[in-house]
A and B are shown apart, each in its own frame.
Chain A
Amino acid sequence: MLRIISNLRLLNSFPENMHNCQPVRWRRKPMWLPTAKSKVFRVPPRPQISEEEDNELKRLNNNYRTAMNSIRRYLTNRYSVKLQAKADTEQLKKAFEEDLARCKAINDEWNAELEKVRNERIAKQLEEDIKFAENRKLELLKREEEMLAQAEEIVRKEKELVGTFITPEMLDEAIENAINNPVDYNFAIDLEGNKILGRETTPVEKAQVKQ
């Protein structure tokens, strides 16, 4: 790895006029050369580990891992900054309670202020409501009076009319009167806008009424 990095570094740091220089510090061939022809088909021998040795190594490794896990856990419990911060529950609880008390004080203050404002607002609202209700009551009374007056007026007019009603006793007389006095509602209008009453009247008679 070191060799490769060094090669790269040398490559990058080569000045323009030093292309023909061959670095001799890392004597092995440069990384861009292929595998040597004599080594292309070489198969390196696999390590021969007997079954007995393999089993022994497995046993040792298992024991080692178990022991290391245990040591690591012990050291974590003893030295871990995070765990210590977490384990310090009393401190945390105290801090939490202090924070809570502070928050509560602020909240109480706000509540007191708001209560004052709210009471003012409610009192004002109540006053307005009472005023409104009184006004409504007055208006209602006034309207009732007006209605009553209107009704009285109607009754009075009807009473006035009562004298002109045709009663059964007066019926013959009324019929006679109607026959004796025929009323002609027809009329005509000439070019000047004069209204000429009556069906039979002629314009010469000059029954003119300027409108």
Chain B
Amino acid sequence: MLPPSSGIGQFAATSAKVIRFVRAGCTNRPFYHIVVAERRREQFEPVIEQVGSYDPMPNANNEKLVSLNLERISYWIGNGAGCSGPVEELLGLAGYFPIHPRSYMTAWRNRRKADEEAAAKEKADDSNEEKSETSSSV
């Protein structure tokens, strides 16, 4: 059973805090809570505070829903909390942080792959057409 999201975690004043995901979905259905926790704690231990949620599966309108409590995020970052990589990416896409380099990298790799695929498809189509033309002429 997951501990409540309201944050019952015990924490030391000087310990390292981090804002990160906790997987709160079930099998084949990921869903994440964005929480503040002590860095040395494991994922499913009680958290200090939940500051948002993230649903990575697109809904009917092809949207991935994110909720963020930006005031609390600002507070915690201002008091020395770090962010995990995925959270940094997400906050970058949300416009709170600058866009994470990994987002750019994924984007241009996807673009390149799409271009290559399109080029390959075009080539295949061309060769097919040539083939049909030659066959018709004969």
| Contacts from A to B (Cβ < 8 Å) | 2, 53, 57, 60-61, 63-64, 67-68, 71-72, 75-82
Of the A-B pairs whose beta carbons lie under 8 Å apart in the complex, a sample of 11, sorted by A's number, is A53-B105, A57-B101, A60-B101, A63-B98, A64-B101, A67-B98, A68-B98, A71-B98, A78-B78, A79-B77, A81-B79
Asked if B98 and A80 sit within 8 Å, CB to CB, the answer is: no
Question: Given the complex of chains A and B, what is the CA–CA distance between A63 and B77 in angstroms?
Answer: 19
Interface residues of A, dominant DSSP: helix
Assembled-state Cα–Cα distance A150/B97 (Å): 114
A72 touches B77 (CB 8 A): yes
CB distance from A61 to the nearest CB of B (A): 5
Binding site for A on B (CB under 8 A): 43, 74-75, 77-80, 97-98, 100-101, 104-105
- Return chain A residues, CB-CB under 8 Å to B79: 76, 79-82
A79 in contact with B98 given A57-B105, A60-B104 (CB within 8 Å): no
Interchain nearest-CB distance for B96 vs A (Å) = 9
Q: Which residues of B contact A82 (CB under 8 A)?
A: 79
If A57-B105, A60-B104 touch, whether A68 touches B97 (CB-CB below 8 Å) is yes
Q: Is the CB of A64 within 8 A of B100?
A: yes
